[in-house]
C-alpha cells in the first residue's frame, strides 16, 4: 500500500523540482497533481480555459522538448496499466476516431472499414450536422454543435439513424436518402444487406462504387448495423474531447476514443493545397511581400492547435470517465509503420486484428507511383511524411511554431531554427514516441 502511494509522490516531487524550468511542465504537472488527489473533482473545462487565458509562451528553439519527455513517460505508464487492465474481452466495442482535416484520418479510418463482417463503419456522419448548423456568418455556435454532435454520435452507436436523418438535406422520405455524405466510404453501407435495388433515373452523388445500389434505405442500414458486433465512426468535426463525455458514461455504449494528431506545420501545408479558396489570405501573405497576415487566420490556427492540445492533455490525464478509453496516435508514426500501429490500435480496442486489415494496409502502401492517390503516399514514408518541409515557406513555418509552439512541443515535433534546417532531410523533426 505504502509503496503504491510512494511512487506517485516521488514522481510528483520530481515534477515540482523541474517545474521551474518550463512553463509547460508546470501545466502538465498541475494536472498530474490534480489526478493524484481523488477528492478533487476535475473540471476539464475550467482548467482548459485557465490554460487558454495564460499567455502562450513561445518555447526557446534550442531547448529539448521536456514537455514531450514528460508526456512520453506519462504515456508509458498509462499504457502499461491499460494493457494490464484490458485483456481482450468479448463484447461490443464502439470506436470513435477523432481527428482534424488533413491528418490522415481517412487512411486510419480504413483500418476499421477494412475489418470485415463484424464491423459497422461510418465515415464523417457529422458532415450533415455541421452543414445544417452553419450560421449565415459561416461559423457555428460551438455549444449548439457540440451538443448535436454528441447526440448524433450516441444515436449512431446505437444504430439509430433517426437523429442524423433530421440533419440530412433534403430530408429523407420513408428513411430513404440519395444524399448521405460519402456513402461509398463506408463499406458497411454498400454491402448486400444495405443495397436496395438500383433505381434508374435517381441521381445519387455519393453512390456505391463497386456495387450498383439504389438510394440508401436507412432502415436497412440500421438493421445491418444491429447485426454487427462492433461499430466505428470517424469524425474530424469534434473540437473538444470533453464534449463526448456523455458517450463514455452511457451504459449502453462501450466507447474507445482514438485521437489522431499530426504536425500542425504539415497540416497547414496540406490544407493550403487541398482548400486553396479557404487559404487565399495565406497564399497572398506568402507570395506578397507587403501583405500582412489576417489576424483572424492566426486566431483560427491558434484555436485549432489549442483545441487539439487540450483534448490530448485531457486524454492523457485519464480522468475516471476516460480510463482505458483513450489512445493518442501520431500520424507520422502510422506512416512509418502502419501495420504495427494498426495492430496496436486493435489491441487497445480489444478487437482482434484481422488479416484483411493487414493485407489492405500492405496493398495500399505499395501502390505504384503513377497511382498517386492518398494511399500511395505511404511508399517511402519518411519522404512523404516530411514532404511539407519542401513546400511550406519558412515564413509560414515560423508562424506556426510561434502560434502552436506548445502543441508542437507536447507532441514531440521539433522546431526548426533556420530555412537550411527545415530543408535538411538528415535532421529529423519528429521525436521518437513509444
Ligand atoms: C500576457 O501578455 C500581455 C500582452 O502581451 C501582457 O500585457 C500581460 O502582462 C501578459 N500576462 C502574463 C500573465 O504574462
Ligand atoms: C448557442 O447555442 C446555445 C444552445 O443552443 C444557446 O443557449 C446560445 O444562446 C447560443 N449562442 C449564441 C451566441 O447564439
Ligand atoms: C427499407 O427497408 C425496410 C427494411 O428492410 C423495408 O421494410 C422498407 O420497405 C424499405 N423501404 C423502401 C421504400 O423500400
Ligand atoms: C526514402 O527517402 C529518403 C529520402 O529521400 C531516403 O533517404 C530513404 O533511403 C528512402 N527509403 C526507402 C525505403 O526508399
- Number of folded domains that form the chain: 2
Protein residue with its CA nearest to atom 4 in ligand 4: 383
Residue 425 CB less than 6 A away from ligand 4: yes
- Residues 379-409 pLDDT 10s: 566 667 889 999 999 999 999 999 999 999 9
In a domain, 420, yes or no: yes
In a domain, 335, yes or no: yes
Same domain assignment for residues 148 and 257 = no
Average pLDDT for the chain: 83
Same domain assignment for residues 132 and 192 = yes
Given 181, 201, 228, the domain boundary residue is 228
- Residues 3-48 pLDDT 10s: 555 555 545 544 443 333 334 333 433 343 333 333 333 333 333 3
In a domain, 14, yes or no: no
pLDDT confidence tier of residue 176, bands split at 50, 70 and 90: very high
Q: State which ligand 4 atom lies nearest to the alpha carbon of 425.
A: 4
Which ligand ends up closest to the CA of 365? 4
**Alpha-carbon span 221 to 199, nearest angstrom:** 18
**Alpha-carbon span 3 to 291, nearest angstrom:** 61
- Ligand 1: distance of its center to the CA of 55 in Å? 6
Which ligand ends up closest to the CA of 220? 3
Same domain assignment for residues 344 and 277 = yes
pLDDT confidence tier of residue 203, bands split at 50, 70 and 90: confident
**Alpha-carbon span 401 to 265, nearest angstrom:** 8
Confidence check: pLDDT of 155 > 70: yes
pTM (global) more than 0.85: no
- Ligand 3: distance of its center to the CA of 230 in Å? 24
**Alpha-carbon span 33 to 11, nearest angstrom:** 10
Please give the pLDDT value at position 432.
Answer: 85
Same domain assignment for residues 319 and 399 = yes
Same domain assignment for residues 239 and 201 = no
Please give the pLDDT value at position 205.
Answer: 87
- Residues 43-77 pLDDT 10s: 333 333 333 343 334 333 334 456 677 677 766 76
Given 193, 228, 263, the domain boundary residue is 228
Same domain assignment for residues 140 and 158 = yes
Among 166, 159, 295, 153, CA closest to 234: 153
In a domain, 320, yes or no: yes
Q: State which ligand 2 atom lies nearest to the alpha carbon of 142.
A: 1
Protein residue with its CA nearest to atom 12 in ligand 4: 380
Could you tell me which residues are beta bridge partners of residue 259? 98, 328
Lining residues, ligand 3, CB within 6 Å: 174, 176, 196, 217, 219-220
- Residues 284-296 pLDDT 10s: 999 988 888 999 9
The range of the structural domain enclosing residue 191 comes to: 119-228
Same domain assignment for residues 337 and 242 = yes
Question: 342 is written with which cell numbers?
Answer: 494498426
In a domain, 20, yes or no: no
Same domain assignment for residues 95 and 199 = no
Amino acid at each position: 500500500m505504502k509503496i503504491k502511494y510512494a511512487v506517485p509522490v516521488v514522481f510528483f516531487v520530481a515534477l515540482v523540482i523541474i517545474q521551474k524550468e518550463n512553463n509547460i511542465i508546470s501545466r502538465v504537472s498541475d494536472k498530474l497533481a490534480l489526478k493524484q488527489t481523488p477528492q478533487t473533482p476535475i473540471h476539464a473545462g475550467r482548467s482548459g480555459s485557465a490554460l487558454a487565458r495564460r499567455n502562450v509562451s513561445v518555447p526557446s528553439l534550442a531547448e529539448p522538448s521536456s514537455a514531450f519527455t514528460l508526456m512520453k513517460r506519462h504515456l508509458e505508464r498509462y499504457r502499461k496499466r491499460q494493457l494490464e487492465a484490458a485483456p481482450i474481452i468479448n463484447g461490443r466495442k464502439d470506436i470513435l476516431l477523432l481527428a482534424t482535416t488533413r491528418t490522415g484520418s481517412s487512411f486510419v479510418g480504413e483500418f476499421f472499414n477494412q475489418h470485415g463482417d463484424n464491423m459497422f463503419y461510418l465515415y464523417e456522419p457529422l458532415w450533415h450536422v455541421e452543414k445544417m448548423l452553419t450560421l449565415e456568418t459561416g461559423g457555428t455556435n460551438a455549444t449548439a454543435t457540440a451538443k448535436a454532435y454528441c447526440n448524433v454520435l450516441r444515436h449512431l452507436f446505437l444504430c439509430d439513424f433517426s437523429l442524423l436523418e433530421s440533419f440530412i438535406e433534403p430530408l429523407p422520405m420513408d428513411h430513404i436518402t440519395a444524399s448521405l455524405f460519402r456513402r461509398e466510404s463506408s463499406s458497411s453501407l454498400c454491402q448486400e444487406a444495405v443495397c436496395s435495388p438500383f433505381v434508374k433515373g435517381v441521381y445519387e452523388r455519393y453512390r456505391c462504387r463497386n456495387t450498383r445500389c439504389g438510394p440508401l434505405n436507412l432502415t436497412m442500414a440500421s438493421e445491418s448495423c444491429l447485426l454487427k458486433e462492433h461499430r466505428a465512426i470517424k469524425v474530424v468535426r469534434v473540437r473538444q474531447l470533453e464534449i463526448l463525455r456523455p458517450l463514455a458514461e452511457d451504459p449502453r455504449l462501450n466507447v474507445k476514443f482514438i485521437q489522431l494528431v499530426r504536425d500542425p506545420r504539415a497540416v497547414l501545408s496540406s490544407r493550403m493545397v487541398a482548400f486553396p479558396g479557404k487559404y487565399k489570405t495565406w497564399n497572398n501573405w506568402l507570395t506578397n511581400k507587403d501583405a500582412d497576415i489576417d489576424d483572424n487566420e492566426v486566431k483560427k490556427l491558434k484555436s485549432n492547435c489549442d483545441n487539439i492540445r487540450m483534448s490530448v492533455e485531457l486524454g492523457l490525464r485519464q480522468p475516471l470517465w476516460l480510463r482505458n478509453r483513450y489512445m493518442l496516435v501520431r500520424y507520422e508514426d502510422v506512416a512509418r509503420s502502419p501495420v504495427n500501429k494498426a495492430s496496436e490500435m486493435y489491441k487497445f480496442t480489444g478487437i482482434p486484428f484481422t488479416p484483411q486489415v493487414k493485407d489492405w494496409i500492405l496493398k495500399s502502401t505499395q501502390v505504384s507511383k503513377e497511382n498517386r492517390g492518398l494511399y500511395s503516399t505511404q511508399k517511402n514514408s519518411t519522404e512523404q511524411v516530411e514532404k511539407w518541409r519542401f513546400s511550406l515557406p519558412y515564413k509560414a513555418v515560423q508562424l506556426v511554431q510561434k502560434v502552436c509552439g506548445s502543441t508542437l512541443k507536447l507532441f514531440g515535433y521539433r522546431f526548426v531554427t533556420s530555412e537550411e534546417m527545415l530543408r535538411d532531410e538528415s535532421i529529423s523533426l519528429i521525436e521518437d514516441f513509444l
